[in-house]
Amino acid sequence: MRTISVLNHKGGVGKTTFTGCTAQALAIMGYRVLAIDNDSQHNLSTMLGVSVLTPGIRDVYRAPAADAPALLLRAIRQTGVPGLHMITSCRDLCDADVGDPADLKRALDACGLERYYDWVIVDNAPGMDRLQASAIGACDEIFVPTELKQFAVDGIVEMDTVLRERFSGGARISRIIPNFYRDTLRQRSFLAALRTLFAGRVTETAIPVDSVFDELITEGKTLFYHRLRSKGAAYYLKLVHELFALREEDVWDRMLGERNERLRDEARQRLQTQRTTGQGAIA
């Protein structure tokens, strides 16, 4: 089992979209995935179509250490994508809920999640405080989605320093994912700077600006089921292939097959609903 924390102490860089799309892609590819919403805005819970439920991650943090593993297992919910489960957050989640940042790792280890999951992916709020410290300590590596702006580049350099100085035993930045890419001269220069500063850690795939991501959240849709032909989906599949060392042909073939099967199921369900509704009206 591999555990990843999606982190950037700057907000608005696409962490939640990255976490949700990546988790969905891995699950559709046949992997067993657990996504954890570690942000009080609970946008990941919304994106994956799961209501804010109790118990959630806040309850796990607030529980006595002996009770936390059992509570964590109870907090796991099924999403609309087979193989993808999640633990929801809530608006009351805050740093004060974390007694010891090491408690999350202890709870995850005590649950024996490696028996159930191939990947655990944690979505975090902006910042570098106790909630983020819990995720850093619990994870094997850190993925950093980022904008391509001067402040964003400077922020990642600072975050890398903080990780080394304040979290000596925690995870490190393993991959940096350029986001909101427009292929301008200025963005290309920032991308080159990142690749110099973090050699071998910046992905070749940059996710472009695409309105499809906002549409999916508004409509409650899944990128790879309902917008597979979009530019955003194409680049996310390239990214998943790169990040997780999957064969690109396998990614496309599996995704297309699962998407077609899902759409057929949805069509059959709509037809059954129409027939049932029509029979009721006649009766």
pLDDT of residue 273: 81
Reported as type and span, the H/E element at residue 176 is strand 173-178
Q: Helix %, strand %, coil % for the chain, to 5?
A: 50, 15, 35
Query: What is the structure's pLDDT at 189?
Result: 96
Q: For the whole model, what pTM was predicted?
A: 0.91
Domains of the chain, residue spans = 2-249
- Phi/psi at 121 (5° precision): -125, 125
Cα separation values, 70 from 29, 80, 93, 186, 234, Å: 29, 24, 19, 50, 39
State the average pLDDT for the chain. 92
Which band of pLDDT confidence, cut at 50, 70 and 90, is reported for residue 270? confident
The CATH classification number of 2-249 equals: 3.40.50.300
118 Cβ contact list (under 8 Å, min separation 6): 1, 2, 26, 31, 32, 33
Q: What is the largest CA-CA distance in the chain?
A: 72
In tens, the pLDDT along 92-118 reads 999 999 999 999 999 999 999 999 999
Closest CA to 13 of 209, 237, 161: 209
277 pLDDT more than 80:
no
pLDDT of residue 279: 63
Q: Which pLDDT score is estimated for 259?
A: 82
10 with 157: CB under 8 angstroms? no
Sign of CA dihedral 61, 65, 69, 71: negative
